[in-house]
Chain A
Amino acid sequence: MPLVNHLKELRARTGINQQELGTAVGASRQTISLIERGDYNPSVSLALKIAEYFNVSVEEAFALTEEGE
């Protein structure tokens, strides 16, 4: 099942760029870009850090979807 994420929306809402988010959660800008594009599934700890940064639950930032949904 593919993992979808709402990082771009969350970032837009908070007004931060990929580099700033990366620095805040201990990841590189490239990794944030890969996650947003759906090319990389973050580890549980990174997903938790991202959710914590935006003050949302992990499910609000990431969700599993059915194929073709």
Chain B
Amino acid sequence: METQKSERRTFWKFVVIVICCTLVGGVFGYSSVKFEGSIADGFSAFFVFLQNWALYILSAETVIFLGLSLVFYMLSRKKASSLTDEDEELYDEADHLLNTSVNLGSIYQILAFTFFAIYLSGSAQSLGRDSLWHIGIFVVPLFANIALQSACVKLAKSMSPEKRGSVYDMKFQKEWFESCDEAERQMIGQAAYRSMRTTANVILALILVAILLGIFGLVHPFVPLSLGIVWLAQTQSYNAAATKLEKRK
């Protein structure tokens, strides 16, 4: 009885979503015909704005995220240096601060690559002497981030001596995973599953946006192509790993 109720609720939820999507699609389709010029101009202006400001955004995000990553690393190191065998809660606090530092470093890195690519897309034809400085703005903090990540790993190793791997090694993630125990591997598995689901939703949303923007000729074929490659890589690597694990059972 409860299952039937839940199935009915799910069905009506699905119907509402379909109606909403149809309405949004209708509004967008109508607007695309009615305001074709202004919508296309609006998006073009936004993309040009991004290209013009990409370097400034890159600099700002470098200061914010890389700076915060350094702050959290220092806080974690301070906590870790005062650890004694009895401070088991302090260990967890130091660990949490270190994880935050690594996460902020990874946000910095992803945004840096994204905005540098956007910057280049707007200035590739006009690369001059200034471009060296611009490339420096991207590259120098990147090396600083690698050094910081390496320091984080070193600190993590001092708190968990069983951990292995160096960030300078291409096999770092594999080696680190292999040095994790059953609970940590389970956590990584659960986190990877959550990440897989989130990424699938984000890719789907972006493909829909790319289709809508395609109506105005605002999307370079590389965008849907790269999204498709990421989507395929994600689903196929998941399926391949699942099949392999199933066979091992």
List chain A positions with a Cβ less than 8 A from chain B: 17-19, 22-23, 26-31, 33-35, 40, 42-43, 46
Q: Considering only CB atoms, which chain B residue lies closest to A27 in the complex? A: B181
For the complex of A and B, 7 pairs with smallest distance between CB atoms: A31-B183, A17-B85, A27-B181, A40-B183, A28-B181, A31-B181, A43-B182
Contacts of B160 in A (CB 8 A): 28-30
Q: Is B86 an interface residue (CB 8 A)?
A: yes
Q: Is the CB of A28 within 8 A of B183?
A: yes
Q: Is the CB of B85 within 8 A of A30?
A: no
Q: Is B241 an interface residue (CB 8 A)?
A: no
The total number of A-B Cβ pairs within 8 Å is 47
Can you list 29 pairs linking A and B with CB atoms under 8 Å apart? A17-B85, A17-B88, A18-B88, A18-B91, A19-B85, A19-B161, A22-B162, A22-B181, A23-B161, A27-B181, A27-B183, A28-B162, A28-B163, A28-B181, A28-B183, A29-B91, A29-B159, A30-B91, A30-B95, A30-B160, A30-B183, A30-B184, A31-B181, A31-B182, A33-B88, A40-B186, A42-B182, A42-B183, A46-B182
Q: Considering only CB atoms, which chain B residue lies closest to A18 in the complex? A: B88
Q: Is B36 an interface residue (CB 8 A)?
A: no
Q: Is the CB of A28 within 8 A of B184?
A: yes
Q: Is B180 an interface residue (CB 8 A)?
A: yes
Q: Is B92 an interface residue (CB 8 A)?
A: yes
* A-facing residues in B167-210 (Cβ within 8 Å): 180-184, 186
Q: How far is the CA of A28 from the CA of B88 in the complex (A)?
A: 13
| Closest CB in chain B relative to A45 CB, distance in Å | 8
A28-B183, A33-B88, A43-B182 given; name 12 further pairs at CB < 8 Å: A19-B85, A19-B161, A22-B181, A26-B181, A28-B163, A28-B181, A28-B184, A29-B160, A30-B160, A31-B184, A33-B91, A33-B92
Q: Considering only CB atoms, which chain B residue lies closest to A46 in the complex? A: B182
- Indicate which residue in B95, B159, B161, B182 contacts A27 across the interface (CB closer than 8 Å): B182
Q: How far is the CA of A40 from the CA of B95 in the complex (A)?
A: 17
Q: Considering only CB atoms, which chain A residue lies closest to B179 in the complex? A: A28
Q: Is the CB of B86 within 8 A of A17?
A: yes
Contacts of A28 in B (CB 8 A): 160, 162-163, 180-181, 183-184
| Closest CB in chain A relative to B19 CB, distance in Å | 42
| Closest CB in chain B relative to A44 CB, distance in Å | 11
| Closest CB in chain A relative to B175 CB, distance in Å | 15
* A-facing residues in B21-74 (Cβ within 8 Å): none
Contacts of A23 in B (CB 8 A): 161-162
Contacts of B159 in A (CB 8 A): 29
Q: How far is the CA of A46 from the CA of B159 in the complex (A)?
A: 21
Q: Considering only CB atoms, which chain A residue lies closest to B87 in the complex? A: A17
